[in-house]
Structure 1
Amino acid sequence: MSHSHPELGTPPELPAGGLRVTPLGGLGEVGRNMTVFEYDGRLLIVDCGVLFPDEHHPGVDLILPDFTPIRGRLDDVEALVLTHGHEDHIGATPYLLREREDIPLVGSELTLALLGGKLREHRLKQPAYHKVAEGDRISFGPFDLEFVAVNHSIPDALAVAIRTGAGLVLHTGDFKMDQLPLDGRITDLRAFARLGEEGVDLFLTDSTNAEVPGFTTAEKKITPVLDQVFREADQRIIVACFASHVHRVQQILDTAVAHDRKVAFVGRSMVRNMGVARDLGYLTIPPGVMVEAKELADLPPERQVLISTGSQGEPMSALARIANRSHNFVHLESGDTVVLASSLIPGNENAVYRVINGLSRWGARVVHKGNALVHVSGHASAGELLYCYNIVRPRNVLPVHGEIRHMLANGALAQQVGVENVVYAEDGVVVDLVEGHASVTGKVDVGYVFVDGQSIGDVTEAELKDRRILGEEGFISVIVVVDSVAGKVSAGPEIHARGHAWRDEDFEAIKQPIVDAVNGLLAEGTDDTYQMQQAVRRTIGRWVSGTHRRRPMIIPVVVEA
């Protein structure tokens, strides 16, 4: 079976009674999760998340799914279902609601509460909320939805079963099968088995950990490790984790109480999310343990615990500012302990290690996933996925949520247990379920949509390439003045360079060749300044490449006197 789809054209009209699945993000990367289901002319969207930029996206704040394929059909959208409250599943929702503000939102209590904070930040009015829990069934147009409890690294995650006339689809969302979860809420394999008995026609499964053998470690295994870290620390402890990881924060609070320490939250998103989780009863804060961050400094160091954002090395996060000694009121001391209680999102490794080195430089002891069991994944490993395939026994499988290698590994697991039809898709690849059989039928154009400050979608891949060139190779401007009557260069070239250790005298050797190139064009009767600029660009470009082994951005300006 081919895994690549470069030759696909526009998908044909959907056959009557068929279900069309179009992923707009999340298939080929870890983030930007968004899938559109179409049946009988109506649309259902599952998740609407963001992808965080890496060093290949200089100046970019967020990356959104591409809404273009559904932009003309937003009135056909029955609802947006959110499987759980992580940014890579809910973060792009405000941007979709800017285009149609009354799309009904469906999700669990915590998921919708976390989203509410985002909508307020974006000054959007809240559309209709449909709060659901495991076991609930609710219909929107031709889509009959049933929700199933799944265990993940945030409370209240749900899988969704979608029933239409084309058959039964089961979408796991992000999940794992921790058998001893901190909140006692396990992935409901009995519901998976019941749906399997009914007959799952298409199974969309989380691929993130498909390459990892065995079973994901239980969250409870972290508690004794945290306890040991607290026991050995004789000064302040700073713990960085995701601002949505309620279970991890609960473990830290409980451990702090056991060691007679006070706790403060640092970082806007951490303060906001934990406030929401506490108000809804997902986070139990023992009495007397919490203090304001500024009050914490008045306590002796051995009684202080800070819970901070910034576990991914984000440059403006609380932890990065602490590492750079630029935080307003948290000043790292030699002997402090810093715990990075989170995974490394692919692409963030360098940023995280930069922060670890910064913390270590000031004499902190840094405990992280590489040297202690202070984080476990929120995703099912290969053993759990095999279990699921055997329980559900789906007719067709579409691996989702992951990079290409993760999805291929996931599909291989499905085939090992006898699933006959595994369909591989990437963002924009259309999969149709017709008469019980799923197949790739075409492709729609989708790309990355970049958020850069207030601008959404204005930054193109070409502009990012320019930023990368500017950052890596620098730039050179060349100004030449020509006298078109006399037919020769009358002033210049004036050359300015930035971004490398170039000096003005470095360019003396190329000035005459530039003059000769422009004079040559003028002698031929050319008076087109664009052609002259191109001649300047070629001349200096070849010289810089040959002399300095650089390919900077070159901005030639030819002025007629």
Structure 2
Amino acid sequence: MPTLRTPVASRPAALPSTASVQLIPLGGEREIGKNTWAFRYEDDIILLDAGLAFPDESMHGVNIVLPDMTYIKQNRDKVRGMVVTHGHEDHIGGIPYHLREFDIPVIYGPRLALALLEEKLRDVGLLNRTELRTVAPREIVPLSKHFFAEFIRNTHSFADSFTVALHTPAGVIIQTGDFKIDHTPVDGEYFDLQRLAEHGEKGVLCLISDSTNAEVPGFTPSEASVLPGLSKAIAGAKGRVIITTFASSVHRLNLVLQVAEQQGRVVSLLGRSMLNVVAHARRLGYVRCKDETLQPMQVINNLPDDQVIILTTGSQGEPLAALTRIANGEHPQLQIKPGDTVVWSANPIPGNTIAVSRVIDKLMELGANVIYGKDKGLHVSGHGCQEDQKLMLALTRPKFFVPTHGEYRMLLKHAETAMSMGIPRENIVIVDNGDVVEVSQDRIAIVDKVPSGLQMIDDSRAGVVMDRVLQERQQIAKDGMVTVVLSLDSSGQLLYTPQVQTFGLAGEAKDLKGSALKPLLEETLKQEWSRFARSLERGSVDIDWAGLKGELERVVRRFVREQLRSKPTVVVFVQSPEEESAPAVPVADGDLRQERLPDATRRRRRSSAAVAAS
């Protein structure tokens, strides 16, 4: 049972029924991922979780997706602290990025989640931007004058996970975090249903509850139910066993280690996140095994195959994950050989099914026996189904209800479940990111809207991918790209035949030649030069290069699209070198390189620019 802790502070004094609190979801509504909530009363803002999501196939070059935090940045002086429910990336992954833009005075959360977060912040040099404080079950911490957070142990696929009871001037608001009701938890940490019932008895103003499996009838099976399937799959393997699952599934990792010790195998870990999570979980006592059970790859490579288990990342077919690299024959430490058994202890997240299928196919082609599928008993969800959700509603008996954490159909189904449990329709709100929900003892309603949307991050120095840039990438991916290099002298004459290169174009489109474009450009320059060039004293010329480049770009774009009968992105490079300068030379790889010039010559160059148009 959960450890009882003496509260560090009493609850805020009850205020008149007119007191109202604002609930503001910034991510995780009508979508999967980037779960982020803000709670506001007067000038106090409290954050609950700050997750990320992963890009879809249309987000070319994007690594992660964050919620738009404009509202928080605009009110940064009002942020008093943050509460973390657990350590999954869709709940804590955004914190290092947000701390670059605004301070969070203190972050409270469970030990394992904060251990992972501490390492993230240390890696990017942001540990000094906040204070991390671990909490225990039933502990109550003061977040501000008006907000107190109580941490209630729950059960989920991530060890050390909490539901949060937020004590506010308007009443108690319970945010479940991710949960299922597991009556036989692997780690022996039971859901504190008693504390939920006590809150329900005293009165819960509003319940905000996980909707991920709202469409699925029944209870979600216990994590322990995976043990027979894992045991059977490993016992039936004649050679090495490679198991892929979520690195954050600490309970699953414990089950694998348990089976390994029972069947006389040792375990090695592949994948940075797998190594990282296990290191912290073992240090904190959430992963338990004999020291000799975990061995590095260089040791197990010298052991008989039937004594080896390899735990690896890549259960979602991620391009850079260890298992995907193994399937592609690109991993430096492990190659598939006939007789290997690959156990898929995870289900594909919606959107990842094709990627997972490709990896399975490649592994089979290399001779591996791949065990996968929902009928094999190798995976259970960490989110509660309809009966779990009903039990949560029955225990807390909230006056108002807000389904969260799911796509619209999931939120809608959860709302229907709540109505079947006796909550009036008018007391239920289905929210979208950015909605400002005001709740008091008398009512709940959406009263305003704050900025919401996506912030896309890539590996560039700037980091943030603007909408315009993403649209250009999508256009290039769809229709290809054409680059044209022009060199002009100061009188508007072409010095060289335009250099044309194509990218991502098929068939005859690749044969687009600059010689066909040259007469058109020469005629354009002859007719339009006087519009953009003005003679000055001593024979110098003032040229409106921006205007001229815009005109040339329009001509080239029209020509290219007429020739190709498609709409590729067109990039025009215009140079006007001095006598010693050399034209830009396109090379085979698609780069645009300049012959090296003396420093003095480069300084005298009149202009060099690129114009891009989709």
TM-score > 0.5 by shorter chain:
yes
What pairs up with 1:198-347 in 2 under 5 angstroms?
198-347=202-351
Q: Distance in 1 between matches of 2:283 and 2:147?
A: 32
CA deviations 1:470-503 (Å, max 9, x no partner) are: 23322112345679979x9786454321112345
Matched letter for residue 449 of structure 1: Q
Q: Distance in 2 between matches of 1:435 and 1:394?
A: 11
Q: Is the alpha carbon distance of 1:244 and 1:512 closer, same or farther for their aligned partners in structure 2, counting shifts above 3 Å?
A: closer
Q: Is the alpha carbon distance of 1:187 and 1:436 closer, same or farther for their aligned partners in structure 2, counting shifts above 3 Å?
A: farther
Matched letter for residue 94 of structure 2: A
Q: Does 1:552 align with 2:568?
A: yes
Q: Distance in 2 between matches of 1:301 and 1:494?
A: 58
Number of residue equivalences = 541
Q: Does 1:41 align with 2:61?
A: no
Q: Distance in 2 between matches of 1:471 and 1:160?
A: 44
The TM-score with structure 2 as length reference comes to 0.82
Determine helix, strand or coil for the equivalent of 1:47.
strand
Q: Does 1:495 align with 2:511?
A: no
Partner in structure 1 of residue 422 of structure 2: 418
Partner in structure 1 of residue 561 of structure 2: 541
Correspondence for 1:431 among 433, 437, 448: 437
What pairs up with 1:309-388 in 2 under 5 angstroms?
309-370=313-374, 372-388=376-392
- Shift in Å at residue 505 of structure 1? 7.4
CA deviations 1:49-107 (Å, max 9, x no partner) are: 11122322222222222221111322322211000011111111222333345521111
Q: Distance in 2 between matches of 1:226 and 1:413?
A: 34
- Shift in Å at residue 364 of structure 1? 0.6
User: Which fold has the larger relative contact order, with Cα–Cα distance below 8 Å and residues 6 or more apart in sequence?
Assistant: 1
Q: Is the alpha carbon distance of 1:551 and 1:357 closer, same or farther for their aligned partners in structure 2, counting shifts above 3 Å?
A: farther
Q: Distance in 2 between matches of 1:542 and 1:370?
A: 52
Partner in structure 2 of residue 110 of structure 1: 112
Verify the 8 A CA contact 2:226 2:377 in the aligned structure 1. yes
Q: Is the alpha carbon distance of 1:551 and 1:374 closer, same or farther for their aligned partners in structure 2, counting shifts above 3 Å?
A: farther
Q: Does 1:405 align with 2:409?
A: yes
Q: Distance in 2 between matches of 1:266 and 1:483?
A: 59
Verify the 8 A CA contact 2:172 2:206 in the aligned structure 1. yes
Matched letter for residue 537 of structure 1: R
Q: Distance in 1 between matches of 2:375 and 2:471?
A: 37
Partner in structure 2 of residue 11 of structure 1: none
Verify the 8 A CA contact 1:449 1:457 in the aligned structure 2. no
Q: Is the alpha carbon distance of 1:505 and 1:376 closer, same or farther for their aligned partners in structure 2, counting shifts above 3 Å?
A: closer
Correspondence for 2:132 among 129, 133, 142: 129
Determine helix, strand or coil for the equivalent of 2:433.
coil
Partner in structure 1 of residue 141 of structure 2: 138
Q: Is the alpha carbon distance of 1:485 and 1:253 closer, same or farther for their aligned partners in structure 2, counting shifts above 3 Å?
A: closer
CA deviations 1:496-517 (Å, max 9, x no partner) are: 2111234577436x97588458
Q: Distance in 2 between matches of 1:390 and 1:274?
A: 36
Verify the 8 A CA contact 2:80 2:104 in the aligned structure 1. no
Q: Distance in 2 between matches of 1:308 and 1:511?
A: 55
Matched letter for residue 138 of structure 1: V
- Shift in Å at residue 175 of structure 1? 0.3
Gaps of 5+ in 2: 1-16, 533-546, 578-614
Correspondence for 2:24 among 22, 40, 43: 22
Verify the 8 A CA contact 1:267 1:317 in the aligned structure 2. yes
- Shift in Å at residue 212 of structure 1? 1.4
Root mean square deviation, CA, Å: 2.6
Matched letter for residue 209 of structure 1: N
Verify the 8 A CA contact 2:476 2:568 in the aligned structure 1. yes
Q: Distance in 2 between matches of 1:100 and 1:552?
A: 40
Q: Does 1:164 align with 2:179?
A: no
Q: Does 1:446 align with 2:466?
A: no
Verify the 8 A CA contact 2:82 2:104 in the aligned structure 1. no
Q: Distance in 2 between matches of 1:381 and 1:152?
A: 12
Partner in structure 2 of residue 7 of structure 1: none
Matched letter for residue 369 of structure 2: R
Determine helix, strand or coil for the equivalent of 1:395.
strand
- Shift in Å at residue 223 of structure 1? 0.7
Percent identity (aligned): 35
Q: Distance in 1 between matches of 2:314 and 2:91?
A: 19
Q: Distance in 1 between matches of 2:283 and 2:100?
A: 28
Determine helix, strand or coil for the equivalent of 2:208.
strand
Which has the larger displacement, 152-161 or 488-497?
A: 488-497
Q: Is the alpha carbon distance of 1:455 and 1:64 closer, same or farther for their aligned partners in structure 2, counting shifts above 3 Å?
A: farther
- Shift in Å at residue 279 of structure 1? 1.5
Q: Distance in 2 between matches of 1:425 and 1:471?
A: 34
Determine helix, strand or coil for the equivalent of 2:419.
helix
Q: Is the alpha carbon distance of 1:295 and 1:136 closer, same or farther for their aligned partners in structure 2, counting shifts above 3 Å?
A: same
Q: Is the alpha carbon distance of 1:514 and 1:101 closer, same or farther for their aligned partners in structure 2, counting shifts above 3 Å?
A: same
- Shift in Å at residue 321 of structure 1? 1.6
CA deviations 1:20-49 (Å, max 9, x no partner) are: 111111112211111010012101100011
CA deviations 1:131-185 (Å, max 9, x no partner) are: 2222222222111221211110011110111111122211000001122221232
Correspondence for 1:470 among 476, 480, 483: 476
- Shift in Å at residue 531 of structure 1? 2.5
Verify the 8 A CA contact 2:142 2:149 in the aligned structure 1. yes
Q: Does 1:507 align with 2:509?
A: no
CA deviations 1:419-440 (Å, max 9, x no partner) are: 2222111111111113431111
Matched letter for residue 555 of structure 1: V
Gaps of 5+ in 1: 1-14
Partner in structure 2 of residue 4 of structure 1: none
Larger radius of gyration: 2
Q: Distance in 2 between matches of 1:229 and 1:531?
A: 67
Verify the 8 A CA contact 1:395 1:436 in the aligned structure 2. no
Q: Is the alpha carbon distance of 1:425 and 1:521 closer, same or farther for their aligned partners in structure 2, counting shifts above 3 Å?
A: farther
Partner in structure 1 of residue 594 of structure 2: none
